[in-house]
Amino acid sequence: MLDIELIRKEPEGIKKAIARKGADPALIDEVVLIDRNRRRVLSELERAQSELNRHSKDIANLHGQQKIDAINNAGIWSAKVKELKPEADRSQREFVDIMLLIPNPPLADVIDGASDKENTVNRTVGEISKFSFKPLDHVELGEKLDLIDIERAGKISGSRFYFLKNELVQLEFALAQYAMEILTAEKFVPMITPVLLNREAMTGAGYLPAGEDEIYKTQDDLYLVGTSEQPLAGYHSNEIIDGKNLPLRYAGFSSCFRREAGSHGKDVRGILRAHQFDKVEMFSFCLPENSEKEHEYLVSLEEKIVSGLGLPYQIVNICAGDLGSPAVKKYDVETWMPGQDQYRETHSCSNCTDFQARRLNIRYRDKDGKVAPLHTLNGTAIAIGRMLIAIMENGQQKDGSIKIPEILHKSLNFKEIKR
């Protein structure tokens, strides 16, 4: 949620900024009008409550006609309070509802663009795999080596689900452990998070109301997480953190669930875009003045993880129109997948500034005792399904086997997958 003071002071600037994300600038005009009415009603309610309190106190100290007058006045102001309270509640709800629709404006250095087609590559690292044979994709490899069963998953769950089998199961756990070892060495706190959240927490993380079509919802009005960013964002909700303890960094493991409602016909083959997958996510709470530096730090850890696996990758700068609602700036890491003959997104990393913190009421206290919203950031450590694809396709050999990155050998009882 944006700071209303910023909107009051710079409405035209905010209009231009959110328009870069594809949001309707007219939202800001509506906010200004709704906020003005809300402040008027709240001011009237505050005055009525003050007058009621004053006359109520006078009743105990007055006698005769003065006491009767005070009782009558108290009754008048009590009726006024009762009249104004529902209006004040309505105006506050209306204000919150429209504020929740306004995205976090992108930073000034974010490139313009309306879609992912206008994202730009910052740099490319590593040589792409070269083969003396036509490389297979992960679906063909998974079938030949009995590692993935999509057909039988379809019988019991439908499309975009899969069974992992045999060595690929062990490889999943090795990848999760690999990421956790790197992050705990950097003093991240390892966490296994809930995968069901209430509406308040999901809204606070910035994924409701706009993203409702992409989220699974239970009959108990709980939402399945699409990333452990969401529960980690709410971990310190309604808390004040001593600024001396920032940054607080967490490494969350969870299963993730996404309806993929807007991706019909896109990446339908294989396990790249599934309704369920596992992931290790980084999340950071930091001081506002440090969030841009923290963003670069999280990206550096993503690079360390991918490069440690010996995989070629590129860093992509995300344009304004391709940013989600909470993020002011975002980078993707795209890893080379030879079976598809292209780089594909395996990691993302976002700076959300104080957007989530304001929604979740997470603040910090500085050395002078002042309290203010902190900043939040998130980044993928390992999206396991996509890393499995990259390892399988880059590690495939002419004889049909798959070489496993050396850094994972200590966690496995095999160095290659073969039949």
| Residue 174 domain flag | yes
- Predicted confidence (pLDDT) per residue in 246-297, tens digit: 999 999 999 999 998 777 777 778 999 999 999 999 999 999 999 999 999 9
Residue 106 within a domain = no
Residues 120 and 251 in one domain: yes
Quick one: pLDDT at residue 131?
95
In a domain, 272, yes or no: yes
Q: Which of 40, 71, 99 is the last residue of a domain?
A: 99
Q: What is the pTM of this model?
A: 0.94
Domain for residue 239, yes or no?
A: yes
Same domain, 266 and 377: yes
Q: How many of the other CB atoms lie within 10 Å of CB of 255? A: 14
Write out pLDDT tens, residues 154-181: 999 999 999 999 999 999 999 999 999 9
Predicted local confidence at residue 211, as pLDDT: 86
Identify the domain containing residue 180 by its residue range.
116-417
pLDDT recorded at residue 67: 87
Are 139 and 91 found together in one domain? Answer: no
The Cα 176–Cα 159 span in angstroms is: 25
Residue linked to tokens 């999760």: 176
Within this chain, do residues 48 and 195 fall inside the same structural domain, yes or no?
no
Residues 274 and 344 in one domain: yes
Q: Do 184 and 78 lie in a common domain?
A: no
Q: Are residues 178 and 63 in the same domain?
A: no
Asked whether residue 380 is domain-assigned, the answer is: yes
Tell me the average pLDDT of the chain.
96
Residue 183 lies inside a defined structural domain of this protein: yes
Residue 69 pLDDT grade (very low, low, confident, very high; cuts 50, 70, 90): confident
Quick one: 175 and 294 in the same domain? yes
pLDDT of 7-42, one tens digit each?
Answer: 999 999 999 999 999 999 999 999 999 999 999 999
> Active-site residue numbers?
258, 273, 345, 348, 386
**Residue 109: inside a domain:** no
Residue 258 belongs to a domain: yes
User: Distance between CA atoms of 263 and 273, rounded to whole angstroms?
Assistant: 9
CA angle, 284 as apex, 282 and 301 as ends, to 5°? 45
Q: What is the pLDDT of residues 210-222, one digit of tens each?
A: 889 999 999 999 9
In total, how many domains does the chain have? 2
Confidence of residue 356 (pLDDT cuts 50, 70, 90): very high
Same domain (yes/no): 77, 123: no
Q: What's the CATH code of the domain at 64?
A: 1.10.287.40
386 pLDDT tier (thresholds 50, 70, 90): very high
> Rounded to an integer, what distance in angstroms lies between the CA atom of residue 313 and that of residue 332?
10
Residues 76 and 127 in one domain: no
